[in-house]
Amino acid sequence: MADDKPLRFCMVTTFYPPYHFGGDAVFVYRLTEALAARGHTVDVIHSADAYHLQHPGEPEIAFTHHANVTVHPLRSKNPQLASLAAHQLGRPAAYARKIRRILEQGNYDVIHYHNISLIGGPGVLRFGNAVKLYTSHEYWLVCPTHVLFTFEREACTERKCLRCTLHSRRPPQLWRYTGLVNRCLREVNCLIAPSDFALEKLREGGLKAPMRMLPHFVPLPPSASETKPHPNGGRPYFLFVGRLEKLKGVQDVLPLFADFPGADFLLVGHGDYAPVLKEQARGLTNVKFFGSVHPSEIGNLYRHATALLIPSLCYETFGLIAAEGLSYGTPVIARRIGALAELAEQSGGGLLFDSPAECRVAMERLLSDPGLRDTLGQRGYAAVLEHWTLDVHLAQYRQIVQAAIDGSAVRKSAQTEV
């Protein structure tokens, strides 16, 4: 990738916009579009089947694609069976022929794997002959439930994988007990983790592969002159953005607004836990559920929030939503856990809490002291410019790609001489 010589990339991932649920897929989309805009050719292989397991219809929001991007959705006559086979066998199964054909005919320089849980398991890492990268957006390589959230109750501190898998009503993956993951990781030139915390968790999980920490990036927002009117009629509010699932911890902070007349709580997102949260918020007129919000509108919500509340109970691998909030100069109030603590401490752009009571104290501080809110927001924005912009990310990404290409060339040369 020296001097940005045009390369051929292939992104392999289970979810890709618009067939997706969370921020990980959006990150892959942004990276793909950025590489294409810089003259590289990028193909994307993703599973439309996996999306349709929970959403029979087509996505509501459309995404455009750069002319240099070609998307290959995987579809089958029986999405449930095809996805289950990949999940249980740890290999592409029904998708093998198409994936192999694309990777062999594409003549790629780099194959970059992301979430491969329902597209081919670890076995898909053996497909193709290009330099291979793997970004661990979550903990699937070491955790059958992806998130290191034990018994759907608390962050994992002791491995009880089989019992936890059964508790979460998922079929056990017997291949996890055969060493298949590490055998397949031998095909990968570099395993990328988006935070130091995530990298150490992967190492603790027993992964044996060359690893590198590379933070995610967030797009910089438009200037303040382009902002829209206050989205809450001028009334102060705290904001949550993300999936409405138990592990996101919203249920811990919702009760705080039963006796918090000074501000509202706005929640953006969907999830299986939404009915429970809405029942919990019954009668709380200062709690508002927005559901899906178009990407063009979310920035206005970030910018005007007193703070972004991130009460996650699980180990986030980076904290993409936190970084997005900081990019608008909005501070975060986050639980002291995983990469969230790392991001907040590195940026100086937020306050951390260990209990709901401490969260309330942090909310009251920022609501009553606009100067503190602005100071934290300015620190956070400065950190985004230094660490988490597209240009910063791509500069380090280029180094990883070039090192992998150079290393691969040296190995091939040595094998030829032998």
Q: Is the pLDDT of residue 415 over 60?
A: no
Q: Is the pLDDT of residue 410 over 70?
A: no
- At a CB cut-off of 8 Å and minimum separation 6, what does 107 contact? 8
Averaged over 229-257, what is the pLDDT? 95
Tally of CA atoms within 13 A in the half-sphere of 280 that contains its CB: 17
pLDDT tens sequence across 103-129: 999 999 999 999 999 999 999 999 999
Determine the structural domain holding residue 350 and report its residue range.
224-387
Higher pLDDT pick, 44 / 55: 44
pLDDT of residue 242: 93
**CA-CA-CA-CA torsion sign (366, 371, 377, 383):** negative
Q: How confident is the model at residue 60 (pLDDT cuts 50, 70, 90)?
A: confident
Element (H, E) at 1: none
pLDDT tens sequence across 345-378: 999 999 999 999 999 999 999 999 999 999 999 9
Q: Is the pLDDT of residue 3 over 60?
A: no
pLDDT of residue 59: 87
pLDDT of residue 296: 77
| 171 and 210 belong to one structural domain | yes
Q: Is the pLDDT of residue 155 over 60?
A: yes
| 10 and 62 belong to one structural domain | yes
Tokens, residue 321: 């939503």
pLDDT of residue 348: 97
| 228 and 297 belong to one structural domain | yes
Q: Is the pLDDT of residue 255 over 70?
A: yes
Q: Which amino acid is at 337?
A: I
Averaged over 399-405, what is the pLDDT? 96
What's the predicted TM-score (pTM) here? 0.92
| 165 and 253 belong to one structural domain | no
Averaged over 24-53, what is the pLDDT? 96
pLDDT of residue 228: 81
Q: Specify the length of the chain in residues.
A: 418
Averaged over 291-297, what is the pLDDT? 82
In the three-class reduction of DSSP (H, G, I as helix; E, B as strand; rest coil), residue 6 is classed as coil
Asked if 256 and 239 touch (Cβ cutoff 8 Å), the reply is no
Quote the strand ranges of 140-296, DSSP E. Answer: 149-150, 154-155, 190-193, 211-213, 237-241, 264-268, 287-291
pLDDT of residue 413: 52
pLDDT of residue 409: 66
pLDDT of residue 199: 97
| 331 and 407 belong to one structural domain | no
pLDDT of residue 265: 98
Report the percentage of the chain scoring pLDDT > 70: 96
| 142 and 268 belong to one structural domain | no
**CA-CA-CA-CA torsion sign (48, 54, 57, 61):** negative
pLDDT tens sequence across 194-237: 999 999 999 999 999 999 999 999 999 987 655 688 999 999 99
Instruction: Pick the range with the lowest mean pLDDT from 60-64, 65-69, 94-98, 205-209.
Output: 60-64
pLDDT of residue 1: 55
| 127 and 63 belong to one structural domain | yes
| 264 and 373 belong to one structural domain | yes
CATH label of the domain that carries residue 309: 3.40.50.2000
Tokens, residue 405: 């290409």
Tally of CA atoms within 13 A in the half-sphere of 47 that contains its CB: 35
| 102 and 132 belong to one structural domain | yes
| 296 and 357 belong to one structural domain | yes
| 85 and 211 belong to one structural domain | yes
Q: How confident is the model at residue 239 (pLDDT cuts 50, 70, 90)?
A: very high
| 146 and 295 belong to one structural domain | no
Q: Give the number of domains in the chain.
A: 2
